[in-house]
């Protein structure tokens, strides 16, 4: 009986030790899980901090871009006003240039006969043409007479294919200028010939290859792009 009691006591002690060992293991697991959670939480905090810094930086960059754009637009407006003033000072009153919006309210587009539009108009040297069009479809090409008649757009004298669809072309030369739209729209009637006349006798009029815009018109065209 005594021996049996000793065995039972040892068994109870062993069970207690096993329970303590199991509790110790559970505690270690909990500690590891806690440490892992702390690492994850710290990582999330670091990510949030980086996101905040990136957002602040992006906002600063955007503000800087907006300021640069505003200054650029302001500079353009100042240049435009200066050029307009120069144009009034340089061009004599008796040779006042006239601006023509090609196609009138319709602009540079299909379903309009530009021969009829131009036939009752007289274009003088120093006048200028404003082409207004959908730049996603049409453009403006200056070509020679043969290419104008054939709607050939492969090798234009000069082309305006970029920008916002508003182009100024000065008529500085006494000659006939030919304009078409590329992308095959010439076949749909998007073509114009302009006979430029000299308002007064001049010995300096020369025949150039293309109708050169004046510096003022060129810069205005750039500002409108």
Q: Are residue 78 and residue 135 in the same domain, yes or no?
A: no
Give the Cα separation of 147 and 18 in Å (integer).
101
Q: How far is CA 137 from the centre of its chain?
A: 16
Kindly state the tokens that stand for 101. Answer: 């919006």
Q: Do the domain assignments include residue 170?
A: yes
Q: Are residue 133 and residue 111 in the same domain, yes or no?
A: yes
Q: Are residue 109 and residue 179 in the same domain, yes or no?
A: yes
Cα 131 to Cα 55, 102, 176, 179, 212, distances in angstroms: 43, 6, 17, 10, 16
Supply the pLDDT for residue 206. 43
Supply the pLDDT for residue 1. 57
Supply the pLDDT for residue 207. 42
Q: Do the domain assignments include residue 223?
A: no
Q: Are residue 140 and residue 71 in the same domain, yes or no?
A: no
Q: Are residue 85 and residue 112 in the same domain, yes or no?
A: no
Supply the pLDDT for residue 71. 56
Q: Do the domain assignments include residue 221?
A: no
E strand segments, the chain: 99-101, 123-124, 127-132, 140-143, 158-160, 166-171, 176-180, 191-197
Q: Are residue 164 and residue 132 in the same domain, yes or no?
A: yes
Question: DSSP string covering 98-157, please?
Answer: -EEETTGGG-S-SS--HHHHHHT--EETTEEEEEE--TTT--EEEE-HHHHHHT--SS-S
Q: Do the domain assignments include residue 206?
A: no
Q: Do the domain assignments include residue 6?
A: yes
Q: Do the domain assignments include residue 19?
A: yes
Kindly state the tokens that stand for 120. Answer: 């009752």
- Maximal C-alpha separation, the chain: 145
**What is the pTM for the complete model shown?**
0.52
Q: Do the domain assignments include residue 173?
A: yes
User: Is pLDDT of 111 > 70?
Assistant: yes
Q: Are residue 34 and residue 111 in the same domain, yes or no?
A: no
Q: Are residue 63 and residue 116 in the same domain, yes or no?
A: no
Which 8-state DSSP code applies to residue 202? Answer: -
Q: Do the domain assignments include residue 216?
A: no
Q: Are residue 186 and residue 114 in the same domain, yes or no?
A: yes
Over residues 30-87, the pLDDT tens digits come to: 767 677 777 677 776 777 777 667 776 666 767 667 766 665 665 665 655 666 666 5
Q: Which residue has the higher pLDDT, 9 or 170?
A: 170
Cβ neighbours of residue 128 closer than 8 Å, sequence gap 6 or more: 97, 98, 99, 100, 168, 169, 170, 171, 213, 214, 217
User: Is pLDDT of 184 > 90?
Assistant: yes
Q: Are residue 84 and residue 117 in the same domain, yes or no?
A: no
Kindly state the tokens that stand for 165. Answer: 């669809």
Chosen domain end from 91, 116, 146:
91
Domain count, the chain: 2
Residue range(s) defining the domain that contains residue 138: 99-197
Q: 28-42, 151-165, 179-193, 207-221: which range is least confident on average?
A: 207-221
Q: Are residue 64 and residue 103 in the same domain, yes or no?
A: no
Q: Are residue 108 and residue 49 in the same domain, yes or no?
A: no
User: Is pLDDT of 93 > 50?
Assistant: no
Give the Cα separation of 58 and 60 in Å (integer).
5
Highest mean pLDDT range out of 5-9, 176-180, 221-225? 176-180
Over residues 133-167, the pLDDT tens digits come to: 999 999 999 999 999 999 999 999 999 988 888 99
- Of the chain, the percentage scoring pLDDT greater than 90 comes to 40
Highest mean pLDDT range out of 164-168, 185-189, 216-220? 185-189
């Amino acid at each position: 009986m005594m021996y049996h009691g000793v065995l039972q006591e040892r068994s109870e002690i062993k069970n207690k030790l096993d329970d303590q060992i199991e509790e110790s293991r559970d505690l270690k697991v909990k500690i590891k899980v806690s440490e892992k959670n702390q690492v994850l939480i710290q990582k999330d905090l670091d990510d949030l901090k980086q996101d905040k810094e990136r957002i602040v930086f992006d906002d600063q960059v955007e503000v800087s871009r907006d300021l640069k754009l505003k200054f650029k637009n302001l500079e353009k407006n100042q240049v435009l006003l200066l050029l307009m003033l120069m144009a009034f000072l340089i061009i004599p009153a008796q040779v006042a240039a006239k601006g023509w919006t090609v196609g009138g309210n319709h602009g540079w587009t299909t379903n309009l006969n530009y021969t009829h539009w131009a036939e009752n108009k007289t274009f003088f040297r120093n006048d200028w043409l404003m082409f207004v069009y959908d730049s996603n479809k049409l453009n403006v090409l200056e070509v020679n007479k043969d290419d104008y008649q054939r709607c050939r757009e492969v090798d234009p004298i000069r082309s305006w294919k970029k920008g916002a669809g508003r182009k100024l072309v000065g008529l500085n030369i006494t000659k006939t200028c030919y304009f078409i739209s590329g992308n095959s729209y010439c076949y749909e009637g998007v073509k114009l010939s302009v006979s430029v006349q000299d308002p007064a006798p001049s010995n300096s009029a020369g025949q150039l290859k293309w109708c050169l815009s004046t510096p003022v018109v060129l810069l205005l065209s750039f500002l409108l792009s």
